[in-house]
């Protein structure tokens, strides 16, 4: 479940990211490449050493994929995420391509 919200008047530039569970209030400009996380919102640059902890703090894997594997067990968490995504994609294996 994605419960992020960008309020009227906030600006999210190209290549910026509003993470799951984030509320971006009216007014701020989220610059290219910046990442907004949380409620209240905090912003991070790519490579910020506290960014992984902020992503963990909003429970991203659970919100995005329903994955409940412990954050510290990265291999199992990624494996479970891949299984979830594979099931989602396989549900479309018989989709019919419709010409534009």
Give the mean pLDDT of 30-42. 94
Domain boundaries, the chain: 1-46, 59-92
The single residue listed with the structure tokens 């494996």 is 79
Residue 4: predicted pLDDT: 74
Residue 2 has pLDDT above 50, yes or no: yes
Q: What pLDDT shows up at residue 74?
A: 86
Pairwise CA distance, residues 50 & 33, whole Å: 16
Q: Give the DSSP per-residue string, 66-95.
A: ---S-TT-HHHHHHHHHHHHHHHHHTTTTP
- pTM comes to 0.75
Please list the residues that pair with 11 across neighbouring strands: 29
* pLDDT for the residue numbered 73: 87
């Amino acid at each position: 479940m994605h419960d992020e919200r960008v309020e009227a008047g906030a600006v999210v530039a190209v290549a910026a990211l509003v993470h799951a569970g984030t509320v971006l209030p009216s007014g701020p400009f989220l610059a290219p490449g910046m990442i907004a996380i949380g409620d209240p919102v905090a912003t991070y640059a790519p490579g910020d050493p506290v960014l992984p902890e902020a992503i963990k703090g909003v429970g991203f894997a659970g919100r995005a994929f329903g994955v409940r594997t412990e954050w510290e067990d990265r291999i199992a968490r990624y494996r479970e995420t891949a299984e979830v995504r594979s099931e989602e994609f396989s549900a479309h294996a018989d989709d019919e391509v419709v010409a534009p």
